[in-house]
Chain A
Amino acid sequence: AQKVTQAQTEISVVEKEDVTLDCVYETRDTTYYLFWYKQPPSGELVFLIRRNSFDEQNEISGRYSWNFQKSTSSFNFTITASQVVDSAVYFCALSEAGSGNTPLVFGKGTRLSVIA
C-alpha cells in the first residue's frame, strides 16, 4: 500500500527565513510519481511540481526547490526567503505508475505560517 507522511503538522517562520517541508513516502512500485500541492487560505489546491521516480535530479523554480532522494524515500520542499504569501497548507502526494493516470495518495499536509 502507498503512504505519504508529512511529519510536520505546523511550521511558523519569520519572513525571509528559509523553510523546508518534509515528505516521506512508502510504495512497493518501482515506478511512481511524486507531487506537491499548495492550499492557500482561499481553499483551492494549486499544483506545484511533479517528479518521476526515475529522475532524481533536484529542481529549482524561483524561491522553490525540491530535493528527491530515493534512498531515503523522501521528497522535501524548500522555500527560500519566505514571504507572507507563502502561508498555506502544503500537501505532498504520490501516485503509482500504471497503464494510465492513477489517483493521488496525499499526506496530511503541513501548515506553514510566515510572519511579517
Chain B
Amino acid sequence: DAGVIQSPRHEVTEMGQEVTLRCKPISGHDYLFWYRQTMMRGLELLIYFNNNVPIDDSGMPEDRFSAKMPNASFSTLKIQPSEPRDSAVYFCASSRSGQGNSYEQYFGPGTRLTVT
C-alpha cells in the first residue's frame, strides 16, 4: 500500500512568493495532520483535520498560513507571502480513527522548504 505522499519534496522560493505544499493521506485514514520541523522548535503541530474538517488550527503561526482539505485524499498547506523564517521541513501525517483509541500516525517524507 502507498504511504502518505507529499509534494514537492524540496521547494526553494524567494521571500514574498506563495508556496503550496500538497499531501495525499493513506487511503482509508480519516485524520490528517500537518507538522513543521525546525532546529529551534522541533516538531510542532500546525493543524489537523478529521473527515476533511479542520479540528484544531491553533498551531498555525500567522494568517499567512492556510490549510484546506477539499476531499478525503488531498490536502494543501499554503503560505502567502512566504518569509525566510518559514524555512523548515513540513510533514503531513495520517491516521485512522478507532473506538477511544489514538492510533499511530504515519508520516509522509516531508517537504523541505527554503525561503531566501
Contact = CB atoms under 8 A, between A and B. Distances in A.
Interface of A: 33, 35, 37, 43-47, 50, 52, 91, 95-98, 100-109
B95 interface: yes
Interface in B69-116: 89, 91, 93, 95-98, 100-110, 112
Contacts of A109: 42-43
Contacts, number: 62
Contacts of B56: 103
B102 A33 contact: yes
Interface residues of B, number: 29
Contacts of A46: 107
B105 A47 contact: yes
Name the residue among B44, B97, B100, B104 with the largest chain A CB count within 10 angstroms. Answer: B104
A47 B106 CA distance: 7
Given A43-B89, A108-B42, A101 B102 contact: yes
Contacts of A98: 102
B60 interface: no
